[in-house]
Structure 1
Amino acid sequence: MARTAKIKPATAVDDARPASANYHAHALARGLALLEMLAEGPQPLTLLEFYQRTGLPKSTLVRLLAVLAEMEFVVRVDERPAFRLGHKVQMLSTAYVAELDVSVVAGPYLRELAQASGQTANLGLLDRDQVLHVCVEEPDRPIRFTATTGSRDATYCTALGKMLLAGVPADRIAAHVEKPPFPRRTDHTITTLAELRRELRRTAEQGYAFDDNEGSVGLRCLAVPIAVDGEPVAAVSVSGPSGEVQPDRLRPYLDQLRAAADALSGDPDVVAALRKLHRSLSPTRGGAA
């Protein structure tokens, strides 16, 4: 009864088929729709559940599922009959993720952000005690902050770093920074762990990080988080001259950053690429817990 209560009503699966589909393409579209239903979970699904969700004749469903099972995209698990996804789906998924390049799929969003803000846009992930810049786009102007995709920077004195650290459990922050006292880059650089913890609490509360001439004199940066599966795994920032990125004039930049973050987290290709890269990076300095 519990499973039956979760079944969605018939969704007219044919409504999603290509308008120009012929008979064979029509069958292919239906088969792919069945795979999508299995991917939505929970698995397995019975023939009755497929019928109730799609409205397709049972005889049609039997033929489609038989072909998918023969090609190992689904596996029949019992005599009801019920089906789950097969190993061929994992093969396609692995190939898809392997081909993703964060800088390529995120590039259009970063370019739009750089153009709209007039400042350098940067997408970063946390790698031990450093920020890894995975995509950088600069505005088309002579005076701009210059950074390179693939470069790294410290966590404690950058907006990206502080935004990423704000999502780390308090008892693990020390593993993601250099041994204190931190190297002083400017008169504004945070150098103690206690001061950094206070800054991170403020960052988490306000929902953005601000680097006020802390990493370089004359440079201010602003960053917001990007969540994947509800976890803040990346951050996006804009960096520019201190005279332009004024503390009392941050709202337009924040609006642009949040719009970019929403667009990035709403793109399936970007999400898959960030998830893959996040899992591949070293969790803490020296492998510490």
Structure 2
Amino acid sequence: MSEVGTLKKGLSILELIIEKGSLSVSEIVEMLPLNKSTTYRLVSTLEQNNFIEKNAENSYKVSRKLIDKLTNNGLNFDMETIILQASHTIKELTGETIFIGILSGEQIMATHIIPGRFPTRTHYEKGETLPIYQSAIGKCILAFKSASIQDSYKEKMNASADVEAFFGELARVFEAGYAVDDEQAEAGVRCVAAPIWKDGQIVAGIAISGPSARVCREKDEENGQLVKYFSRHITEALEN
């Protein structure tokens, strides 16, 4: 096998893991025209070089080290300090967990998590992914994309009632400027998110997440205005 051929196969595995969020070796073999021994070898190489990492279910996901590099360098967000300052301020105001997430294939990937101060809170980790249609961040990112991009994502997703409801909601998200995950990703947990822009493009979303008893429907407008305020603050800082 040539070095170029090996590189292409390794990159195809990495691209597939980015798109799907996490995959086992067996699932990769089913999806790509690779035999099991070659797949094991390439996965091992990707893991050894910190492109991917194994999770508790023995599946592989994008490594935290790669996420850090993408966030700080490749995607050129320049927003570590800005995010931390804004997120800590929101946490002080709400007490809830704050997320920053980016679009990764058909998933939303958490790039920053500021844990809330309450004993009961959401417990996602940096690098974890959610399907776009289960995520407030996914809604607020796709709501501001073109109709053609929205259609392309719709074609990639399963034609379920949840997906139809998700795309039906995008116009309301566009109008309000913020999105709500009403226990769609996890029972008992709600999330309110707004988009972050850079150079005229949405690069991420910022969200408040917590138990539905605290991040309740009655506070959606208040929390929506809060995440919109801080998303504007981060956006303006990125433009300077």
User: Residues 172 and 258 from structure 1, CA distance in 2 versus in 1: closer, same or farther, beyond 3 angstroms?
Assistant: closer
Q: Which runs of 5+ in 1 are unaligned?
A: 1-95, 183-189, 273-289
Number of aligned residue pairs: 167
Alpha-carbon distance in 1 for matches of 2:193, 2:85: 18
Alpha-carbon distance in 1 for matches of 2:162, 2:170: 13
2:146 maps to 169
Deviations 1:226-249 (A, max 9, x none): 121232222111011111122122
Runs of 4 or more above 6 Å deviation: 98-101
Tell me the secondary structure at the aligned position of residue 223 of structure 1. strand
Alpha-carbon distance in 2 for matches of 1:179, 1:224: 22
2:25 maps to none
Matching of residue 119 in structure 1 with residue 119 in structure 2? no
Matching of residue 264 in structure 1 with residue 234 in structure 2? yes
Shift of 1:102: 4.6
Q: TM-score, normalised by structure 2?
A: 0.62
Structure 1 or 2, whichever has the larger Rg, is 1
1:141 maps to 118
Q: Which runs of 5+ in 2 are unaligned?
A: 1-71
Tell me the secondary structure at the aligned position of residue 168 of structure 1. coil
Q: TM-score, normalised by structure 1?
A: 0.52
Alpha-carbon distance in 2 for matches of 1:264, 1:120: 17
Shift of 1:203: 1.0
Structure 1 residue aligned with 2:225, among 241, 255, 267?
Answer: 255
Shift of 1:196: 2.5
Structure 2 residue aligned with 1:151, among 117, 128, 151?
Answer: 128
Alpha-carbon distance in 2 for matches of 1:239, 1:259: 16
Give the letter for the 1:179 counterpart: M
Alpha-carbon distance in 2 for matches of 1:225, 1:157: 16
Give the letter for the 1:147 counterpart: Y
Alpha-carbon distance in 1 for matches of 2:201, 2:86: 20
1:217 maps to 187
Give the letter for the 1:253 counterpart: N
Structure 1 residue aligned with 2:157, among 179, 186, 196?
Answer: 179
Shift of 1:161: 0.7
Q: Is the 8 A contact 1:221 1:239 kept in 2?
A: yes
